[in-house]
Amino acid sequence: MIQSVKLLAIACVTTVFVFSGCAKKPEQKPVPRDPALAISCVGVMPVQAAVDVSSAMSFAQAKQLKEGATIMDALLKKKFAGRREFRFVNPAQVYGLDVDGEGSRLGSLQKIAEQMSCNAMLEISISRFSDRVGGEYTAKDPASVAFQYRLYEVGEGKILCQGSFDEVQQSLMENLYNWKSARSRGFTWITSEQLLQEGIDEKFSQCGYLLEP
């Protein structure tokens, strides 16, 4: 009995050290709105699938990435539903515009912003979208998502907010610091769409211009 108690105590102490040793993701301070900057509206660009042609990405992976871009477009429309200051750019408005390179991309955003009478543009690219393989409790491979966003004030080309999300879901045993996330997920393996939604909520909450006033 005494030996069992000792073993339990050692396990508890070990757990404490493991928790204290787990690396915490650095918290990014929210970017506040500039009271001197009036945003007429925000034009939301179609999500771009950032397919790296130089990588060993398979056709199936590229297809899944484009599907991820379509899903993210739908999630953004749902997130900003009812907020009239957000206007979604029709893909036809982007067709034919040169969006490669920093200078030409900003110029293209400015042209679209002028058409929409907006002085801010939200640009997003998704670079990884891999769904889990398996079920909620026995996933062989976890969901994996990565995306980047930038919010521009197009008059001067100033970046108001930017951020990136890059996560492969880990089990609680792989990273004990994920206790809060694991509990909110019901200690299950979530889908890539659910992970993408979490990423959108997390990153956009750090930008005052994307929050409801």
Does some domain include residue 18? no
Range of the domain at 111: 26-210
pLDDT tens for each residue of 69-87: 999 999 999 999 999 999 9
**Mean pLDDT confidence for 124-148:** 80
**CA-based Rg of the chain, rounded to a whole angstrom?**
21
Asked if residue 128 lies in contact with residue 65, where contact means CB atoms within 8 angstroms, the answer is yes
Does some domain include residue 182? yes
In this predicted structure, the answer to whether residue 182 has a pLDDT above a threshold of 60 is no
Asked if residue 54 lies in contact with residue 97, where contact means CB atoms within 8 angstroms, the answer is no
pLDDT tens for each residue of 190-209: 889 999 999 999 999 999 99
Q: Is the dihedral of CA 107, 147, 63, 51 positive or negative?
A: positive
Q: 167: Cβ–Cβ under 8 A, 6 or more apart, which residues?
A: 144, 145, 146, 195, 199
**Mean pLDDT confidence for 124-139:** 77
In this predicted structure, the answer to whether residue 23 has a pLDDT above a threshold of 50 is no
Residue 104, pLDDT score? 76
Does some domain include residue 62? yes
Q: What is the largest CA-CA distance in the chain?
A: 77
Does some domain include residue 2? no
Residue 203, pLDDT score? 97
**Mean pLDDT confidence for 37-55:** 86
Asked if residue 101 lies in contact with residue 107, where contact means CB atoms within 8 angstroms, the answer is no
The rounded mean pLDDT for the chain is: 78
Could you say which DSSP state residue 208 is in?
G
Does some domain include residue 129? yes
Does some domain include residue 82? yes
Q: 205: Cβ–Cβ under 8 A, 6 or more apart, which residues?
A: 30, 211
User: Total structural domains in the chain?
Assistant: 1
What is the domain-level CATH number for residue 156? 3.40.50
Does some domain include residue 112? yes
pLDDT tens for each residue of 137-181: 665 678 899 999 999 999 999 999 999 999 986 654 554 445 456
What percent of the chain has a predicted confidence (pLDDT) above 70? 68
